[in-house]
Structure formats: structure tokens, C-alpha cells
Structure 1
Amino acid sequence: MQIFEEFIEWIAIHWVTIIIILHISLSVMTSVHVLLFKENERTSLAWIGLVIFSPVMGTLFYWLFGINRIKRSAQKKHPKAQKKDFIQQEKLIEFHHLPKNWHSAIISGHTIHPVNYVADNSVEPLINGDTAYPAMIHSISIAKSYIVLSSYIFDDDYLGRQFVDALAAAHQRGVIVNVLLDGIGIGYNWHQSDNALKKQGVKTARFLPAISLTNIRFINLRNHRKILCVDGEVAYMGGMNLSKRNIVKSAVHPIDDVHFKVTGPVIDQISQVFIEDWFFATGESIQFPSYSPKTQQQIRDKTVVARVIQDGPDEDHNKIRWTLINALVCAQTSVKIMTPYFIPDQTLMTSLHAAALRGVSIEIIVPQYSDIPFVDWVMEANFSRIIEHGIQIYKNKRPFDHSKIVIIDDIWSFIGSTNWDARSLEFNFEINLECFDTELNAKLTAMFTLKKQNAVAVIDSEINNLSAYKKIRNNLFRLFSPYL
């Protein structure tokens, strides 16, 4: 007892020295980790400054939110046979009769992400939950063998319960159902939908649970993918979560969005992403049915050449950023971007400006007000830099628009879950579809044009007339854009 009392007395006398030694030790250890593993110089300097000048708390904040890479055991442990049909073999690049100016992009695209471009697909835009949800629930209701569903947010509202009931009914009639939900996204709703599914016997899993002793340092890394595949016959993907707010006709605070119904052989690439995510989350390997066309007419009606681009803070890091840069180099006439958050890094912004300097028309639509006010402030701080060299940016006056599409010329489009910000491009696991098809581009261009009619252009006078307070606020938050 005396030894313990002496120890407490020693701590009371030397507590300042102990804290200083602890701070220096933690700061050195953390700063070394930053130097070894952070690629961006400005971000590295910011983290080291935070660690040094915020004793203990800076180090804790870094280990909770600064780690943006993980080793994906799913990709290392999966049997190679599960991937052999998707990986492009050397000297077998197929151009699918696409325009010659895109051939170099296809070649470099295979280097960026060695997955085949496959023909004979159809991609149908589904505007808002009013159109997308009934189609998705119908596909679930007629499923015969297997359903996989992945979502960032799965609200426990009346819409979410419709999906729970449809998935439970499929399970009860003998369909194998696997539902993967993000460990943070599921917490957006107090009553969690995965618990409702489990009560009905549906197999669910959480991707990087928010509360976990083993994964706490990866709390900042989220699965932002939205995937529904049914029987290897139809898939749905895009940026739409499962929430009543996407039913625009009846929502109090509606969210505009677009999802996509996909048929054709590219479904196998979409389901493969789910298979890898499921294995990573559960350690369980599943065998999802492969796509098989039933008639030649079904093939003739499908004109889209497409492939999946998956991205994340793992072995797939930076694939979406490089795919966008690769496509921008090939742009000849126009680039149209629609995104809820437009905070591109310097590399992407330089690529856009380079295209504009070549005479390419570049138009960007963002929401007038997003669901995150300080992101709006950062975008506003960047407007003057964005509109250089003739780039036009428009603010959509409708309710918050969550749509994510890129359209280049009349042939190339990029659709999926990725936003133009650091969180999507650095921290999130995302899935996009890279598509070549004039008919699809015409549909997406019509949608873009319609939204632009409800938007106002950002002009120099608007930027210059901002109050000093707003300019200071906006540029202050811009300093934190790498972390938003």
C-alpha cells in the first residue's frame, strides 16, 4: 500500500514531465507514420502540425480519422478463378468499334484498371426513387435464386420497410439473400434496418462496424456503394440510398437523384464487387449466378459497352481519379458534370482547365444548397478558381440534387456512387460504371439540360459581392477540404 501511495505522490509531483514525455513520444511516432504513409505534402504538413500543437488529442484524432488505407484481405484471399473472367489478358484489348480517338483511353484504361470492357449491355436511367424503388422491389419480388444488396443508408421508414418486406418474402420462398450495410451509414436512422431483416431470417452484415476494437482506426473509411443484383439477370446501381426522401412526390425534404437499371454481361463485374465486399466483412465466400442471355433478341437490344471501376482506400486506390483524368484528355467537344459536392483536388481541376483551354465546353451543375452547409461554403470559396478559362458552373435551385453523372462528348459517360470530393476519392469504397453509348449519352444529356433550366449560372459579380465575413468563412473551411 505504501508503494502505491508513493507512486501516486511521484505522479503528482512529476505529472507535467510525464505529459511532456508522453506528448513527445506520441508526436514523434505519429509524425513518422504521417511521413511514411501520407502522399499529399500539404495534408502531411497539416497532420504533423495538428499532432505537435494539440498534445495527445491531435495524435488521437489522427489515428481515428487520418488513416485512409487498409489492406483488403478480400482481394488477396479470393480464389483467382473468381476473377479470371474480368481481368484483361495481355494483347487482348477489344475496341468494340468505338471511335478511334478513344482507343488510347481504352488502352490506358486497361492499365489503370485491368478489367474487360464488355459489349451487349443496357443501362436505363431511373429518375428519383419514384421510378427506381418500384423497379427494384419488383425485381426482388420475382427473384428465383439469389439477391445481393449493398447500401450506405437503409432508412427504417415506410420505404425501407417495403424493402425489408420484399427481401424477407424472397427469403421465405427459398431465395438466398445477402444484405451488406455500412457500419456508419446504418446509424443514420435510430431504428436499424439490418435488425429488422435479421428478425425475418435474412442474412446481413456490416462493413467496418462503427463500434469495434479491431476496426476503430478505420472509422473514417466507409462503403459508399449502392448495389442490387438479382439472379445474375438484372442489377441496379448508382448514387441512390434507400430512403423515403428520394420519393420526391411525397417527401417533405426531397432529394433528387438518379439510379440505373443494368442488364448484360457487365452484371458479373458488379456482383463481383459485392462478393469481395461480403468476403471482407464476413470471411464468407459466396457464389452468385453468372449472367446468361436468354435470346439473341436480348443481345441485339443492348448497345452499351461498359465496365465497372471500383475504388477505395485499398489496392484500388485512385482508380476513379485516374479514369476521370484519362477521359478528360480525350474530350473533344463537351464535358458535363453533375455532382452534389464539387471539391476536386488540384490534379482533377488542372485536367478540367486543360480541357477548357483546348476549347472543350465544360458545364458543371451543383445544388444551390446541399445537405452539408460547410461543404457549400467550400464550393463557394472555389467558384472563382473553377470558372477560369471558360468553365461554367450552375447552381440547381431544386431540392437537394444528389445525382452523380459525367458525360463527355456524345459517347462516354461515368455513373455510380462517386462524388467529386476528397471523401469519395480518398476515403470511401465506391463503384462506378464506365460506359460508351450514344443513346445513353443522349438520355443523360436530356436530363442534364432539363436540370440546367432550373439552375442559375455562377458569375464573377456574385462572387465579388460576397460579404467579407462570408469570404473569410468560406476560405477558412476550404483549408479543411482534404478532410471533408
Structure 2
Amino acid sequence: MQLFLSITSIIITLNTFFAIITVFREKRDIAATWAWLVVLIFLPVVGFVFYLFVGNKLSRKKIFDIKAQESIGMYELVQAQKEMLADDEDLLSSKQASENAKEMASLFLESDESILTKGNKIQLFTDGAEKYESLIADMYNAKHHIHLIYYIFKDDKIGRRVLTALEDRAAAGIEVLVIYDALGSRSLKFNFFKKLESLGGCAESFFGSSHSLINLRFNYRNHRKIVIIDGKIGYTGGFNVGDEYLGEYKKFGYWRDTHMKIEGNAVLPLQSRFLMDWNATVTNYKLEYQENYFPLIKKQGKTNMQIVSSGPDSEIQQIKKGYIKMISMAKESIFIQTPYFVPDDSLLETLEIAVMSGIDVKIMIPNKPDHPFIYRATTYYAAEMIAAGAEVYIYDNGFLHAKTIVIDGEICSIGTANFDVRSFKLNFEVNAFIYDPEVAKQQRDIFYNDIEKSYLLTQEMLDNQSKWLKFKQVFSRLFSPIL
């Protein structure tokens, strides 16, 4: 027994020592540091295996490889845009944008070098079938190129329809390039894109590995959903490629998401984003600036917007800062829709200040989890916001996957980033920040329409939850910095 206790003591001491060395060898925020210490100390061996796959940060070399792509197309785009707008009114004229919008535009120009584009036309989609009918039709009309990124691409009915359209265009000599995330699209067979590639197209997995079980970078995912057609039409938002996004999975029911089609010069930053991601993904087929990738487009509508990217290659957390700026500027209302509500301390405090200042804060989350652990953390933070005075609605007509925020019916954001730590720090994301009261009010009306299919989560409901459920929520919240 004495020998057993001695060996156990040595193991615990060594485990604690290596846990401290492992966690502190890389720069992290305090919350994430403590969360990883808990995992490594209280789960000996198992915790280190988990850390090996999930906790490792991107290597300096990989971060450099990603950052090195950031100049492609942007210098030419900025210079051409300056010439085009030389005799035009300010991008944010007093007729359309307030001082708030101007401050937002300045923030993203400084933090993400995100150019501000005007005269865009936007079409919003909240139904998967409508989005894919529009997308597939536009792909069949492509004349020069189709560039596509999806976190999830499945081999099912809608996946094969999209693939067939890509194959058709590749056979016609159109440049077809596809990036799919290695983890999100892990169900794909290795030969799924074989015919497309035989026709001249190319498909690459982001941060993939020939040995997927030992892929040590799977914690850093390309969560973006981007399609660019001829540099003139762009799609981005929450929908991935799979039948579940058409509401055909009984587990989720109707899939309620928000996506948009963009026509205008805001497509060009999406194009640049694709080129960066492509060149960071492939090793033997690098893309360079081409005028056909960046055709300057005449005014299509009247929407001003910026395309903003964020990811683990930057410490700035551009999209999170945009959310904080929007929330802090709100004077009347803040409406948030997200499947995962796991804010860090800065966002949580900003929202609580808004509520205490008399701002109407409404948050909508799903009625069911697609990731149970994260959902328990979501319900924990929902309870925090209710205690602060916000209204939290549970969408009860299927699964809510939309990632939107709108303030004062004036400015809104639609994109791929969830309202959680993972989207802000670990995933590669892209959002559109839109400075058009008409689009913002349309998004607000969509929120009100969804309220008709939701129920209000009350303090009484929370008080009546079982002790076991409350424990799971508190326990999940402890690990929110590393979810």
C-alpha cells in the first residue's frame, strides 16, 4: 500500500508539473489557462491526449503561411476603387449612415484592412431550399469561375446536386475550385470529387491529413461558407451543404438559418478571402491576382457593407470587436440570433451594461442541441442574461442556426460566426457588417416573425429545472473558454 501511495504521489506531482509547463508555454487568456489546467490536472494522461488534439495552437510557420496571403488582390482593388469613387459622394453619406456606421467602418479598416463598399444588392434567405435553388441556378450561369468554401459538404441529395452543377461548369472549361473543411466534411469519401477533378476542377481539404485520426490541427476549423461566381455574385451565411439544411433530418426538423446573396463590389473582398484561404491550403497550385477575379461592378443597389474575417492567425478577434462595438453603440434595441451563446467576459459585460442602460436586448437560441455540451453552456449564459433583464427566446419550430445581430434597426451583421468563444478565437470565420437601415429593419422583422414561433424563457422556468440539469449547465460553463 505504501508503494502504491508513493507511485500515485509521484504521478500526480509529475502530471501537475507537466500540466503547468504545457499550458504556460503558449500565450493564452487567463480563463483558457485555468480551464486547461483543470483538464490536465484532473484527467491525467487522458487530458494530455485531449490537449494534443484540441489545445495545441497553430504553429508560427502555419500562421505565417496564412498571413502571407493577405495582400492578394487587395492593393489593386483599393486603388481601382479609389479611382472609381473619386468623383462620387462619401461611401457613408448622411442619407444612409449615422456616425455609428462611420465608426464601425473605421474600426474594421484599422483592425482587418476591410474596405467599405457601396451600391451593393442583397437578397436574404432564411430557408435552405430557396437558398440552394438560387445558388445552383447562378452556378450553372457561371462564365469564368466558381470558387467555393464550405465547412460541411455532404454526399447526399443536395450535396450531389451542388456537385453536379460544379462538374457541369468544369466540363465547360470554367475554373472550379472547392475548399471543404477536413473535420466538418469528414463523412465525405476520398473519391467524392474524383469526377470533378477529372473534368479540370480541383477540391482541397482545409487543414486535412492523410491520417485523420492523428490530425493535430482539427481544433482550428475553416467555418466559413463562401461562394464566388465570376467575381460578381457572392454567397455567405450560415447554411452548409447537406440535406439537414433543407430540414430533412428528423432530429432537427425545420432548419432555420440566415444566408445572403450579394451582387456588387462587396463580392470582391469575399474573392480575396477565398484566394487567401486557397493559397494557405494548397501546396502546388497557388493563385495570383487576375483581373477576371476582381471585376469592378457598377452600382447594383444601395447597400453599404464591409466583409470582415477573423481567425486564429490573428489575436485581434475582429468579428468579436465588431459585436462589442455594435452593442456598445446601441441606443434602443439589440437583437441577437445564434445557435451557441457562449460569450466571453467582455461580451457578457457589454450586454449586461446595455440591459442596465435601458436597451431592449433580445436573444434567440434553439430549443434543442446539435452539440449538447455547448448547448448546456448556452443555457447557462441565457440564464445570466435573463437575470440581468434581457429577454431570451427559444426557437420552437425546428433548429435555429442563424448568426445575426441587429441594433436599432440601423446596422446589422450576418455571417458564419456564432456568438461564442470558438468562433471568435479558434475558427476561421467571415461576417458581413451592413450599413443599410432597410436591410437592418428587414432583419429585425425576421426576428419578430421568429418570435411567433418561439417561447419566452422565464426565470420561473429556470427555477424549476432539475438540480442535475443545473449542474450540467454550470459544469459546461467552466469549460466555455475551450469549447
TM-score of the pair, normalised by structure 2:
0.87
Q: Which residue of 1 aligns with 2:347?
A: 348
SS at the partner of 2:219? Answer: coil
Query: Offset at 1:185?
Result: 1.1
Q: Is the 8 A contact 1:210 1:219 kept in 2?
A: no
Distance, in Å, in 1 between the alignment partners of 2:331 and 2:191 is 47
Q: CA deviation at 1:362?
A: 0.8
Aligned 8 A contact 1:186 1:192 in 2: no
Question: 1:314: Cα distance to partner?
Answer: 0.8
The answer to whether the 8 A contact 2:167-2:199 is kept is yes
1:40 aligns with 2:32: no
Which amino acid in structure 1 is aligned with residue 255 of structure 2?
I
Alignment-derived partner of residue 222 in structure 1: 221
**Structure 1 CA distance, aligned partners of 2:263 and 2:474?**
45
**Residues 385, 104 of structure 1: CA spacing in aligned structure 2 closer, same or farther, 3 A cutoff?**
same
- Unaligned segments of structure 2, at least 5 residues: none
- Residues 1:82 and 2:73 are matched in the alignment: yes
Conserved 8 A contact 2:91-2:304: no
CA contact (8 A) 1:122 1:264 kept: yes
The percent identity for this pair of structures is 25
Offset at residue 15 of structure 1 (A): 13
Q: CA deviation at 1:195?
A: 4.5
> What SS class does the counterpart of residue 219 from structure 1 fall into?
coil
Tell me how far 1:95 sits from its aligned partner. 3.7
CA-to-aligned-CA distance 1:202-247 (integer Å, 9 cap, x gap): 2110001154599832121111110110001101110100112222
Residues 210, 80 of structure 1: CA spacing in aligned structure 2 closer, same or farther, 3 A cutoff? closer
Aligned residue in 2 for 1:407: 406
Q: What is the alpha-carbon root mean square deviation over aligned residues?
A: 3.0
Aligned to 1:72: 63
What amino acid sits opposite 2:32 in the alignment? T
- Residues 186, 193 of structure 1: 8 Å contact kept: no
Higher relative contact order (CA 8 A, sep 6+): 2
Q: Within 2, Cα distance between the matches of 1:20 and 1:216?
A: 33
Conservation of the 8 A alpha-carbon contact between 2:91 and 2:118: no
Q: How does 1:377-388 map to 2 (within 5 A)?
A: 377-388=376-387
- 5 Å-filtered alignment, 1:92-241, equals 95-97=92-94, 98-189=97-188, 193-195=192-194, 197-198=196-197, 200-212=199-211, 216-241=215-240
> Does structure 1 retain, via aligned residues, the 8 Å contact 2:67–2:313?
no
The answer on whether the counterparts of 2:20 and 2:37 sit within 8 Å (CA) in structure 1 is yes
Alignment partner, residue 394 of structure 1: 393
Residues 80 and 459 (structure 1 numbering): CA distance in 2 closer, same or farther, change over 3 Å?
Answer: closer
- Any conservation in 2 of the 1:209–1:215 contact (CA below 8 Å)? no
Please state how far the C-alpha of 1:277 moved relative to its aligned partner: 0.7
Please state how far the C-alpha of 1:116 moved relative to its aligned partner. Answer: 1.5
Q: After superposing the two structures, state which structure 1 stretch, 71-80 or 162-171, moved more.
A: 71-80
Report the number of matched residues: 464
Q: Which amino acid aligns with 1:279?
A: N
**Residue aligned with 1:387, SS:** helix
Q: TM-score, normalised by structure 1?
A: 0.87
The Cα shift of 1:294 comes to 6.1
In structure 1, distance between residues paired with 2:440 and 2:295: 26
User: Structure 1 residue 424: deviation in Å?
Assistant: 1.4
**Equivalent pair of 1:164/1:196 in contact (CA under 8 Å):** no
SS in structure 1 of the partner of residue 216 of structure 2:
helix
Matches within 5 A, 1:308-319: 308-315=307-314, 317-319=316-318
The aligned counterpart of 2:445 is: 446
Q: Which amino acid aligns with 1:357?
A: M
